[in-house]
Amino acid sequence: MDLTHLKAHELIKGYENRDFTCTEVTQAYLDVIKAKEQDINAYITVTDNLALSRAQYVDSMYENREEQGLLAGVPLAIKDNVAVKDVKMTAASKILENFIAPYNSTLTEKVNEAGAIILGKANMDEFAMGATTRSSYFGATKNPLDPKLIPGGSSGGSAAAVSGFEACLAVGTDTGGSTRQPAGFNGIVGFKPTYGSVSRFGIASMANTFDTVGSFGRDVEDAHLLMQVMAGRDMKDATSIDNPSLTKPIDFENGAYLKDIKVAVPKVYLNMELDSVVKSAFDSTIALLKDAGATVDVVDLENLEYTIQVYHILVNSEIASNMSRFDSLRYGHRTQRPYSSYEEMFKFSRSEGFGDEVKKRIMVGTHILSLDAKSNYYQKALQVRTLIKKGFDDVFKNYDLILSPSAPILPIPLDSTMSDVEIYQSDLFTIPANMAGCPSISVPYTGGSFPVGMLLTADRLRDDMCFKAASEMERRLK
């Protein structure tokens, strides 16, 4: 039996039956990491000693028949913009290359309390800015399904770790699709909850009004298991909320959740130019839903055509503000060049520490927030975001879910020279859920020549609707 090919819920049953120990499973994962990392580069830091120590502790709890948490003995990876005490937290940037987190994030505390085994910190686009995991200071991550391709981003390392059997579960963050787009590219499940469902305390912010914490698993049940552990109100994060829909019981083996549900397909998506493999999977998924008893209607969802423009105006504005804390005085890399003023020190340190994508977004965001441009761009973008959110609200008055592909394209080659605008388009279907704060899940459609993510989005605080529909879709796609 290859222990790394078992899903999290299968591992837990195995531990309970004493089929194997947590130490054996953890060592098996560390062996795979050692064998594959030179090719895949899913991790920035591997915490092997910490993982084995934790595994032995969990084994002793099983032997003593002590009460266990939901993730007892499950090895997982955590994106490197999340704080794990006494472990490097680089956000894939040179400017934080040697930063050691002095405390745990709230979600780290929760997965530790649940008994999870942290295998390491996963690679990502620098400060989560990107859709390819090529902008990491520590080198690009490759797609385990085909190492010539990108794994998506910005949580590409987390997705690759799960897809490549280098972790059983993984934590990602999702600002515009960074769990769901890479999940689709890697043939696994990626979920983003209702905004605020998971505390962001201890996580390097990219764009505060968009950022959420999401989960990766090899099936829907695993992704749901991790979300149950991470979710909850946190007094350290004023934007966090209680979301009871994440803990509602779900029958993953027999639940008939597609019958009589109403699914909306935005008309604008049907008129878009999609990759032929993606288009075929999209059409087949619509047919699958109808066969299962769901009603699928084409609907008008106004202003979706402005998604990419509005997203980048608002997100880059928030990025410019968030990145200002990395000034080499309080945080971050300090230049070794001689300087004659604080201003010169900031300038040298930040130009050396930040990569090109981060610098570009800081400059764009700073320009947008300048006095003249603010009313022309930022304030108008806020108004259009409200209109997009209203469009979602109107659709959810009559429908349970919105369906689309997770991305309009398949993963591109690592050495592709696609323009930034073309790459930004890969988040076209995922961004609206971040704008509206809605839960959304990517489920792999495996009937074609390459896995394609299918995206289901529900109304706020209806996260259970995503998991229920996705679980039956997953069973029918097998």
CB 181 within 8 A of CB 192: no
Residue 326 burial by CB count (10 A; 0-12/13-18/19+): exposed, middle or buried?
A: buried
DSSP assignment of 72-123: TT-EEEEETTB--TTSB--TT-GGGTT-B-SS--HHHHHHHHTT-EEEEEE-
| Catalytic one of 154, 245, 442, 471 | 154
CA distance 282 to 295: 15
Could you say which DSSP state residue 447 is in? S
| Catalytic one of 158, 178, 197, 245 | 178
CA distance 211 to 226: 18
3-class SS string, 174-229? ECCCCCHHHHHHHCCEEEECCCCCECCCCECCCCCCCCEEEEEECCHHHHHHHHHH
CB 378 within 8 A of CB 368: yes
SS3 171: strand
DSSP bridge partners of 445: 452
CB 334 within 8 A of CB 356: no
Q: Which of 111, 427, 454, 100 is CA-nearest to residue 287? A: 454
13 included as an active-site residue: no
CA distance 477 to 343: 58
Q: How far is CA 250 from CA 97, 163, 168, 332, 468, in A?
A: 42, 24, 21, 44, 7
Residue 415 burial by CB count (10 A; 0-12/13-18/19+): exposed, middle or buried?
A: exposed
259 included as an active-site residue: no
User: Within 10 A of 262 (CB to CB), how many other CB atoms are there?
Assistant: 14
CB 122 within 8 A of CB 214: no
79 included as an active-site residue: yes
Q: Residues with catalytic annotation? A: 79, 154, 178
